[in-house]
Every structure is written in C-alpha cells, then in structure tokens.
A and B are shown apart, each in its own frame.
Chain A
Amino acid sequence: MTHPGIEAQVDAFLDGELGEVDARELETHLAQCPECARFRDGRLELRSAIAAGIPTFQAPVALRERVRAAGARGPLRFPVRRLWRPLAVAASLAVVAFGTWNLALRHSASETLADGLLASHIRSLMPGHLTDVLSSDQHTVKPWFNGRLDFSPPVYDFAGRGYPLLGGRLDYVDGRAVAALVYGRRQHLINVFLWPATRGAAAPAARSRHGYHLLHWITADYSYWVVSDLGLAELQEFTRLVRQADSAIYDSSGRPISQ
C-alpha cells in the first residue's frame, strides 16, 4: 500500500501541478519509499499506455466548414445538420423563434434585464470569471462584499441540501454594482444576483432562454435573479431554500432578527 493521501499528490507531482516545496518533499519521500515509487512507476506506465492507446480526433472537415460558414453568416443562421433530429430541430426552432421575437418586439425593461443577466451568467462560466472570492464559507463570502457594495447581501450555504456555496463576485447589472453568489448542484452552476429592491415584493416567476432558466422574485429588501442551466424543478427547489432562509432571518414584523 502507498501512504494514505499520497496518490493524488503523486499525480499532481507528475502533472507538474505541485508547488515547489511540496514537490521537493514528495521527491524525498519517493526516493525513500519503494511502495510509493512503485505507485509512481505504475502511473508513468499508465501515461504511456494512454498516449499509445487512446487517440485524439480531428474534427471532420465538413464540421469545420459549417462552423466557419456560420461565423460568416452571424449567429442566427447556423446551418442545421440532419433536420429530422429532434434535438437539432428544437434548437433551431428556439433560435429562430428567439430571433424573430427579438426583431419583432421591443424588449420590455425586464426582458432586457433578463438578457443581461443571462449574458452575465454565461460570462461567469468562462475561465477565471466565476468568482472573485472563492469560498464555501458563508462567513468568508459575506464580509468580502463589505466596502465593495453599498449593501451587505445575505449569504447562505445549502451544502447540506446539495447546493454548496462556491463563492461570490461583483457584477454589474442594469447600471449598478450587484452581488453575484455562486452555488453548485452536481455539475451545474447557479448564479444568484441580488441588489436592494426598488419595487414591491413579487413572487418567483420563471423564464427560459436557450436551455437556461431564470427565476426572479423580489423580497422586502432585495431583488433576486437566479440563473442556471439546472432543470427548472431543481432550480425552483433551490429558490425555495433561499426564500426560506431569507424569511428565517426576519421576525413577524418583517424586521431582521440578526445575521
């Protein structure tokens, strides 16, 4: 047996992902421990076996051409391969419908806001954009906003319910700086945007765009938007958790108890 916990360390070492100090320590250990050295050799063998046996693929020329052509035509006229495929049909209909609707109607203010929030959600999925403060500890995330925003957003952790807090960041929505809290659900990410409410309370309402769901509601204090590619049912469950947690910090007169 190798030493406990060392396997991932050895992997990180071989992947060049270990810090200098840790790497030196591990090298010393490997030099002294035949078991762990054997483990390392096994991993090196596996690496060559993968290099020899698991191929990478080249994108078919036709696919490359379709992507290039689509870029030239712009976002709304992507050629759909094999139209009878329900998936492709649904996708193209959604895009066409959205495009037509987009052109035909003036966006209401809240639709424009929804678009902006969806774009912000997508942008947050891009490398390095998800969190400014990376922490699953609500007592780390909440204070981080101090001095960065003119309000102190309520931050909860629902790890026990399968929605762990991953972190937070500042975002800019609708002409103001807002708090964005990031929660996880399996492989999905949930962005919770919130800022002080300027209108009266409203119950959650759902919208869908391109496979993403947006839920919006307003409490006595905050305007909330939740955006995710998570299924609607689960996103609604998550929304219920946030609303329960919110209402738990207010007494019956609607005043904050403490936080």
Chain B
Amino acid sequence: MESSELARFEAAVLPHLDAAYTLARYLTRNASDAEDVVQDACLRALKYFEGFRGEPGASGTGARAWLLAIVRNTAYSSRRRQRADALATEFDETQHSDAVAEDNPEGVLLQKAAKETLRRALDRLAPEFREVIVLRELQGLSYKEISDVTGVPVGTVMSRLSRARTRLQQALRGEEER
C-alpha cells in the first residue's frame, strides 16, 4: 500500500479500534472471538478501503460508523457459523455467580451485585438490543449513526433502544422477563 493510502487507512481505522473491539466484545461475549472478529473486519475494511470516501469535514464519525458496520456484519456472520457454539456458552452459572466474599462491606457487595446483574442482563439481551445499548451508551453514537451501522431505520433504532433500556431496568429491579 502506498504511504499516503496507508496513512489514510490508519487514520480511518486505528482511532476507532477500541470502539470496534468493544462492540465485538459485546456481540461475541468473548475476548478471543472479539479479536478474531475485529481482525477479520479490518481485513475487509482494508480490502474495500479504496471504495471508502469519508464525508468531508465529518470523516471522523463517518469512518467510525463505517468500521463499526463492518465489525457488526463480521460478528453476525461468524455468529451464524458458530451458532451451536454460542448457544452452549450463553450462560455459565459459576462464572456469572453473584457470590462475593463474605467479608465485603454490605454496600460494596450490593453495588457489585448490581453491576453484575446489569452486565449479565446486557449479555442476555438479544444482539439487536445489545448492540444499540453498546453503540449509544458506551460509544455515544447518534441515532442516525446507529442506523447506519445496523442498517435499520432511525425509528427502529429509537424503539429498540427504548425497549432494551426497559429490559435492563426490569433486570435491575429483579424482574425476570418471560
């Protein structure tokens, strides 16, 4: 790759690698799968990089949504291939147990339990709900950007986000949906 092209690729992809990895982590729920997904996605990004023209002036956000969309598609296609796998590792009682050492002060223990409940609730959300939470709450994307990444209309982004939040609140209140 020529050095100017390389600089353009690095400028488009590297600043968003943490965001890409975070999204992949929550979509795959697994650190090593997330690395594979991001690497695979960057391969695709590189392959099609020449087709990418970030909007002038807003190339930062354009590049981020572009990369996240590729990461998302890569995660979904690898998930389809590994569906049997994914179902088997969906929830591990011992790994996600609330049990905390008894000598913790009560407040800390409660706080820890709440975080754990929230994290587990997020992991249990359908991926379509999980991704909007990650994109909005962790990465601060606008509805339009989320729509670009997920390929669904802004109205759908809005209603998914709202439903996802309601489910997380239910989980925090200890209400099990279904």
Contacts and interface: CB of A to CB of B under 8 A. Distances in A.
Contact of B21 (A58, A82, A187): A58
Contacts of B76: 187
B124 interface: no
A81 B55 CA distance: 33
Q: Which range contains the number of B residues in contact with the other chain?
A: 35 or more
Contacts of A91: 40, 43
B109 interface: no
Contact of A50 (B13, B66, B133, B143): B133
A251 interface: no
B128 interface: yes
Interface of B, helix, strand, loop or mixed by DSSP? helix
Contact of B13 (A71, A126, A229): A71
A138 B67 CA distance: 31
Nearest to B62: A127
Given A67-B17, A68-B14, A81-B36, A7 B162 contact: yes
A119 B78 contact: no
User: Which interface residue of A42, A122, A184 has the most chain B CB atoms within 10 A?
Assistant: A122
A182 to B, nearest CB: 9
A75 B18 contact: no
A63 B139 CA distance: 20
A56 B138 contact: yes
Interface string A37-73: 0000011001101111110111110011011101111
A21 to B, nearest CB: 17
Interface string A114-154: 00000100110111101000100000000000000000000
B42 to A, nearest CB: 5
A166 B155 CA distance: 13
A27 B40 CA distance: 45
Interface of A: 7-8, 11-12, 15, 17, 42-43, 46-47, 49-54, 56-60, 63-64, 66-68, 70-75, 78, 81-82, 85, 87-88, 91, 95, 119, 122-123, 125-128, 130, 134, 166, 184, 187-189, 210-211, 229
